[in-house]
Amino acid sequence: MRKVLWTGALAVAAALTSAAGLSNLCSAQVVTQDGQSRAVATQNQQLTASHGELLRIVRESTERFKNVSVAESEGYKLVFGCVTGPDAGAMGLHFLKQEFLDNPPQTASGDIDPRRPQIVIYEPTPGGEVQLTGADYLIFAEAWDKAHPGNPPQLMGQLFHYFESPNRFGLPPFYTLHVWAWKENPKGAFVNWHPNVSCQSFSGKGSF
């Protein structure tokens, strides 16, 4: 069985995000242990100018990663199998750059840097290839909340999703934001699951 382990800060964990209680709305969520969720702050499902700019920036800064070998040469590594949805759809394959997880990149003004995501996301395709679908920003909650009490992270106006611990993957509490910059998501550009992403062509084992 194919098994990829986290290193450094994630050595004891084996996944990025929980399948329980995820919302299909373009909003930030707190997901409780029993799978229920409550909105932290509702985001307008209509894309704003800043959201459109975020999508543009993510496409511009990750275009070179259409070739997965380029992402790997820059330190991104597959850390899981293919992440499937709780009912339908999937997240796909997550390639993590540990350096960016341990020390989240910031802009000169101290904001989260949209040009340097912790994770790039791919969908497996027939023939053993992968297709770039977007980026994922992941920040551990303890460090963020200590530095920004009462202010959950956001990226150019889009709030992150929050997941509590304990969770089924053994991760500490974390914030995450998926940006589906390379494959349009009918549920929204910033939701966790993509209904049109599939793990059917994943050639490895360990899909979740």
For the segment 140-199, what is each residue's pLDDT rounded down to a tens digit? 999 999 999 999 999 999 999 998 888 645 679 999 999 999 999 999 999 999 999 999
Whether residue 49 is predicted with pLDDT greater than 70 in this model: the reply is: yes
Give the pLDDT score at 33: 27
Which domain, by its residues, includes 154? 8-18+25-179
Q: Does residue 191 fall inside a structural domain?
A: no
Predicted confidence at residue 170, as pLDDT, reads 66
Residue 1 is assigned to a structural domain of this protein: no
Q: Say how many domains are in the chain.
A: 1
pLDDT given for residue 45 in this prediction: 53
Residue 195 in any domain: the answer is no
Ramachandran angles phi, psi of 53, nearest 5°: -65, -40
Q: How far is CA 117 from CA 58, 78, 130, 192, 195, in A?
A: 9, 14, 18, 15, 22
Is 50 exceeded by the pLDDT of residue 78?
A: yes
Q: What are the φ and ψ backbone dihedral angles of 153, each rounded to 5 degrees? A: -65, 150
Q: In which element (H, E) is residue 49 found?
A: helix 49-62
Residue 67 lies in a domain: yes
Would residue 185 count as lying in a domain?
Answer: no
**Rounded Cα–Cα distance for residues 118 and 139 (Å):** 9
CA distance 115 to 167: 29
Q: Is residue 189 included in any domain, yes or no?
A: no
